[in-house]
Amino acid sequence: MGWFTDARTFGKSLARLLGLSRPALRGLARSGYFRPDLEDCGRERILLLAPGWLGDVFWASQVARPLAERFGGGALWVATSPRARGLWRGVVADERVIEAPGLVSDRLREGANWRSLWSEAARLRAEGFDLVLDLCSNPFSALVAFAARPARSVGLALHELAELYSVAQPPPARGSHLALRPWHVAAPLLETAPPEAPPEPRPLPLPGSVAGRWAALEALGLEPRAALAVLAPGAGWAGKRWPAARFARLAEALEERQFEVAAVGSADEEALCAQVVAGTRRGRAIAGADLGGIAVLLASARLVVCNDSGLSHLAAAAGTPTVALFNSTNPALCAPIGPRVSVLRSGCPHRPEGVLHHCHGVPAYPCPETCWEDTTVERVLAAARRLILG
């Protein structure tokens, strides 16, 4: 048992075991799968494997356009989470976006259903892809990339199952922004060095006319002519969430300043959004709206205040003034990128610094609300004022 005393030791041992097992694995893969190059691999059917949470898939989607320009849009398919389907609109043809609810990226928050994973792999295997690019590069997606039996697969050498890729690309340096990872996966196909810093992200497409945008806002129950302030109180786990009571006080303060306030979140954050606007006169709670409507809302807002969440990346990419609140995660690795972003960090002495992604080095660490003590409503309002007034 001492050989497997912790997850890191187990991971290294599993990687060694997979390396030794490659001769046996060859029998399960297509002929030539483990060749460490892509020279004789077809480019007519390329699958982008992009399971994950909204922010992860948003960054993965950024490499699709240069790939489409190089190989033609007809060469690309994507397998992604149903909740993230809208992120591929305008980049990959809608009929080539494969909703794959069985794909997971985060065992802590989603749980791994092995039967669903293999079912998804079998469905993808029937498509006969030439090449799979695992843009999220986690152990679960690596298993699916291998089991889909493409001619080749590419992912990052980030985890113990990277031995299952045909080509395991070196990842960005530790401490680099996570947005760089998909570019390192795609580098062999783009035949160019990955960028040293994340490029400005491409925003989600919007309706082409003002009337179309106004109609989208009206469908959400909002007045298109109003000065909109969007609050996004949700996040992947509790330690990333600024206290709901402070979001509620912020909503009231913004309404006093003549903003129309909308609290936005996923369908399972409906109660949280309602709590945030409960003390306002006209505030709206918008939970579970489709990404098309959310994209219009974020692009139309005068201000967005959010936690470290997927919506922060969409708002920043749209060029909207965005105040992003960080506590248990490191903004050096995952801050939203855009022309008008202000990152406010809690003063918690245990917050992650340097190359650490998570508080205490532990994903989803259960930080108490006291970690947010110095991130006051007044501090957030001051940051918003600086952003809006320039």
Give the pLDDT confidence of 252-272 residue by residue, as tens digits. Answer: 999 999 999 999 999 999 999
What CATH number belongs to 7-189?
3.40.50.2000
Give the pLDDT confidence of 344-377 residue by residue, as tens digits. Answer: 999 999 999 999 999 988 888 899 999 999 999 9
First and final C-alpha spacing in the chain: 59
Strands 260-265 and 341-345: unpaired
CB burial of 25-40 (b: ≥16 within 10 Å; e: otherwise) equals eeeebeeebbeeebee
Predicted pLDDT at 23: 60
When pLDDT is cut at 50, 70 and 90, the band that residue 3 belongs to is very low
| pLDDT over 80 (residue 384) | yes
Task: Return the C-alpha torsion angle 109, 299, 334, 349, nearest 10.
Answer: -90
**Three-state DSSP class for 197?**
coil
Give the pLDDT confidence of 141-173 residue by residue, as tens digits. Answer: 999 999 999 999 999 999 888 999 999 999 999
When pLDDT is cut at 50, 70 and 90, the band that residue 9 belongs to is very low
Angstrom distance (rounded) from CA 5 to CA 15:
16
DSSP state of 259: P
Sheet holding 260-265, edge to edge: 284-287, 260-265, 228-232, 303-307, 322-326, 341-345
Give the pLDDT confidence of 199-241 residue by residue, as tens digits. Answer: 999 999 999 899 999 999 999 999 999 999 999 999 999 999 9
Mean pLDDT, residues 268-287: 98
Mean pLDDT, residues 73-81: 93
Tell whether pTM > 0.75.
yes
Q: At what angle do helices 310-317 and 291-300 cross, to 10 degrees?
A: 50
What CATH number belongs to 210-347+361-389?
3.40.50.2000
Question: Residue 132 is which amino acid?
Answer: V
Are the CB atoms for 290 and 266 separated by under 8 Å?
no
Mean pLDDT, residues 55-70: 95
Angstrom distance (rounded) from CA 206 to CA 228:
17
Residues of the chain with CATH 3.40.50.2000: 7-189, 210-347+361-389
Nearest to 19 by CA among 164, 123, 116, 121: 164
Q: What is the CA radius of gyration of the chain?
A: 22
Predicted pLDDT at 26: 67
Nearest to 387 by CA among 297, 311, 316: 316
Angstrom distance (rounded) from CA 16 to CA 177:
28
Say what percent of the chain tops pLDDT 70: 91
Mean pLDDT, residues 128-141: 93
**Three-state DSSP class for 85?**
helix
Predicted pLDDT at 18: 57
Angstrom distance (rounded) from CA 363 to CA 28:
33
Give the pLDDT confidence of 168-203 residue by residue, as tens digits. Answer: 999 999 999 999 999 999 999 998 999 999 999 999
| pLDDT over 70 (residue 114) | yes
Cβ neighbours, 10 Å, residue 375: 19
Predicted pLDDT at 7: 40
CA distances 266 to 225, 282, 303, 329, Å, are 25, 20, 19, 21
Are the CB atoms for 129 and 148 separated by under 8 Å?
yes
